[in-house]
Amino acid sequence: MDDTLTRLKAAIENSGNIVFFGGAGVSTESGIPDFRSEDGLYNMKYKYPPETMVSYSFFLNNTEEFYRFYRDKLLHLDAQPNEAHRALARLEKQGKLKAVITQNIDGLHQKAGSVNVIELHGCSGRYYCMDCSMAYTSDILAESEGVPFCRCGGMVRPDVVLFEEALDMRVIDKAVNVIRDADVLIVGGTSLNVYPAAGLIRYYTGDMHILINKSETPYDSCANLIIRENIGEALGNI
Ligand code: ZN
């Protein structure tokens, strides 16, 4: 085990108040690519950039095209948790990890057994009717083609935060509180470029800010320990 992993292990062993903050990189090992990543298929199939297609105005004005992209790129019903999700669920059961804060919408942390998961951008497993607020699961997508509709006739939307939409302040408050109280903060699989990630990290006041990311981030200089590994490999070794 190299030196940085030894230090990660020691930090985890010595703490009973760890918070994990994760981004798209946590799910790539489950076969879920960052939807922003360019792949040839995307360029051939869609006329708009991904950021446009997951915006609220695009959803309202091009709902059918939105759902085509959503089903194709954002919905991963068969994806399974990977070593990173399982390791974090284990740490929570051991009473060491207080919360997972995630930018992902795939629900894989809960699937792995994590309980206290703060989902900044919502979850692709949840849906609701825009007229009567009736809640649905992703079954509604399996049971329909194109745009899903509620029994009342209203349009059903995913319970995810689209571009142009504000984040839920109650969710942000929860994230701020656990980060502020944490004695170890592990940030993984995110370049911290997506709002509000970088802003949230600033609430951490401890001296064990651990960054696990394959490539450099603009926030490397804030970290006390940097691990250049895949997140699953790093956490799976603990
Ligand atoms: Zn309805």
- What are residue 112's phi and psi, to 5 degrees? -80, -10
Write out the catalytic residue numbers: 121
CATH H-level superfamily of 1-31+82-121+168-238 = TPP-binding domain (3.40.50.1220)
Per-residue pLDDT in tens (0 to 9) along the chain, 238 residues? 689 999 999 999 999 999 999 998 999 889 988 776 655 445 557 888 888 999 999 999 999 999 999 998 888 889 999 999 999 999 999 999 999 999 999 999 999 999 999 999 999 999 999 999 999 999 999 889 999 999 999 999 999 999 999 999 999 999 999 999 999 999 998 878 777 777 899 999 999 999 998 888 888 888 999 999 889 999 988 8
Going 182 to 187 to 192 to 194, the CA torsion angle's sign is negative
Identify residues whose C-beta is under 5 A from ligand 1, the ion: 129, 131-132, 134, 150, 152, 154
Phi-psi region of 128 (alpha: psi -120 to 50; beta: other; left: phi over 0): beta
Centre of ligand 1 from the C-alpha of residue 154, in Å: 5
How close are the terminal C-alpha atoms of the chain, in Å?
A: 10
Query: How many CB atoms lie under 10 A from the CB of residue 149?
Result: 14
Query: How many CB atoms lie under 10 A from the CB of residue 190?
Result: 26
Virtual CA dihedral for 182, 194, 211, 105, nearest 10 degrees? 70
Q: What is the pTM of this model?
A: 0.93
Task: Tokens for 200, please give them.
Answer: 């949230």
Centre of ligand 1 from the C-alpha of residue 125, in Å: 17
